[in-house]
Structure 1
Amino acid sequence: MKNLLTILGFLLCLSTQAQEINWMSINEALAAQKKEPKKIFMDVYTDWCGPCKLLDKRTFHNKDVVNYVNKHYYAVKFNAEGTEEVNYNNFTYTNPNHNPNRKGRNSQHFFANALKISGYPSMVFFDENGNLIAPVVGFKTPQQLELYLKMIHNNDYKKLTTAEAWKKYEKSFVGTFSN
C-alpha cells in the first residue's frame, strides 16, 4: 500500500509540473529548419517590458499554447536589446550599441530593427525556409494567440490579402484553447 501511495504521489507530481515551450535561439531554429522544415515562432521581448512578462506567465505557460507551439513550430526567444549574434540571410546582426551598465531600456538589436519591431512584446512568424511572414505586436491571451498560430501553421494567411478577408476569417475562427 505504501509503495502504491508513493507511485501515485510521484505521478501526481509529474502531472502538475509546468509545461514549457521548447525555446531555442534563432540560429538554432534556422539550423533545425535545414534538417526538418518547420515554421518558426519567435517571441521578441525586452527585460524591462511588463506585458512581455505577462505574456510569458499567462500565455506561454498555457498547456494548449505549449503543446501547439512545440508540435508545429521551432520556438525562439529573442531579447530585442540583447547581445546575441544572429546569422540571418547571409548577414550577421549584432547590437554594438548595447551598454551592459545601463538599467532599463537599452539599444535595439539590429536584428529586431531589421524585422521592423515597433513594440514589445512582438511575436514574429517565419516560414519553413526562414523567410519572414509577419510580426504580431502586443500581449495576446492564449485564445487570441491561437488564431495566429493556427492561421500561420495552416498557411491560411496566404489567402488573406485584404482587410475584408482578414475580418471575415477572424470572425469565423472558432478556437479550442482553454484559459
Structure 2
Amino acid sequence: MDKYIIGISAILVALVVVALTFPGLTDNETETNTTSSLKWGTDLNQAMQEAKNTDKNIFVDFHADWCSYCKQMDEETYTDPQVEEKLTQNYVLVKVNVDDNPDLSSQYQAYSLPTMVILDSDGNEINRIIGYQTPEQLLDQI
C-alpha cells in the first residue's frame, strides 16, 4: 500500500513539473497568447450605427469558448499584421459568442464554427466565410 501511494505521488509530482516547465501545454496559456490589436465590439446594433457613421461594412466573428478553431483564428489569423490592417481599415468588428447569443446566431444561421459574416450597415449579409481560415485565405475573402 505504501509503495502504491509513493508511486502515485511521484507521478503527480512529475505531472506538476511538466506543467510548470511547459506552460504552453495548458489551455489557459493558449488563451492569453493572443496579441491582436484588433478592437472587437460585442453589440451588433452599435456596430451598425458605427458602420453608417464611418461608411464601413461589419465583420462579425461568430465563435464559442469551446471552439478550438475559433481560438486558432484568434491566435494565428487575427494576429497577422496584414489581416489586422485590412480588417481595421475596412470593417467595424464584432465578436458574437453563439452560446451567449443564440437568437443572433440563429438569425444569421451561424451553425458551424467559426463563421464570419460580412454585413452592410443595415445588417444585410454581403458574404459568409465558414471554417478556419489561414491569414492568406482570409485576406483573399475580405
Please, what TM-score do these two structures have when normalized by structure 2? 0.70
Percent pairwise identity:
30
- Paired with 1:33 and 1:50, the residues of 2 have a C-alpha distance of 29
**For structure 2, which runs of at least 5 residues remain unmatched after alignment?**
1-34
1:24 to 33, 41, 46: 41
Q: Considering fraction of residues, name the structure with more helix.
A: 2
Q: For 1:23-75, what per-residue CA distance to the aligned partner results, in whole angstroms no more than 9, with x for missing partners?
A: 11222211212322210111100010000000100001111101110011001
Query: Residue 36 in 1 paired to residue 54 in 2?
Result: yes
Q: Which has the higher contact order (CA 8 A, sep 6+)?
A: 2
Task: State whether residues 40 and 95 of structure 2, in contact with CA within 8 Å, keep that contact through their aligned partners in structure 1.
Answer: yes
In structure 1, the residue matched to 2:92 is 74
SS of the residue corresponding to residue 111 of structure 1 reads helix
Deviation (angstroms), 1:128: 3.5
Deviation (angstroms), 1:119: 0.4
SS of the residue corresponding to residue 23 of structure 1 reads coil
Task: State whether residues 39 and 130 of structure 1, in contact with CA within 8 Å, keep that contact through their aligned partners in structure 2.
Answer: no
Please, what TM-score do these two structures have when normalized by structure 1? 0.56
In structure 2, the residue matched to 1:111 is 104
Task: State whether residues 73 and 134 of structure 2, in contact with CA within 8 Å, keep that contact through their aligned partners in structure 1.
Answer: yes
Figure out how many residues of one structure are paired with residues of the other and give that number: 107
Q: For 1:119-157, what per-residue CA distance to the aligned partner results, in whole angstroms no more than 9, with x for missing partners?
A: 0001111024321123211000000001111xxxxxxxx
In structure 1, the residue matched to 2:136 is 143
Task: State whether residues 30 and 130 of structure 1, in contact with CA within 8 Å, keep that contact through their aligned partners in structure 2.
Answer: yes
- Paired with 1:117 and 1:42, the residues of 2 have a C-alpha distance of 10
- Structure with the greater alpha carbon radius of gyration: 2
Q: 4+ residue stretches of structure 1 with deviation over 6 A?
A: none
Task: State whether residues 23 and 77 of structure 1, in contact with CA within 8 Å, keep that contact through their aligned partners in structure 2.
Answer: yes
Flag the 1:19–1:116 CA change in 2: closer, same or farther, 3 A. closer
Q: After TM superposition, list the pairs within 5 Å mapping 1:75-114 onto structure 2.
A: 75-83=93-101, 109-114=102-107
Task: State whether residues 51 and 91 of structure 2, in contact with CA within 8 Å, keep that contact through their aligned partners in structure 1.
Answer: no
- Paired with 1:34 and 1:72, the residues of 2 have a C-alpha distance of 13
**For structure 1, which runs of at least 5 residues remain unmatched after alignment?**
1-17, 84-108, 150-179
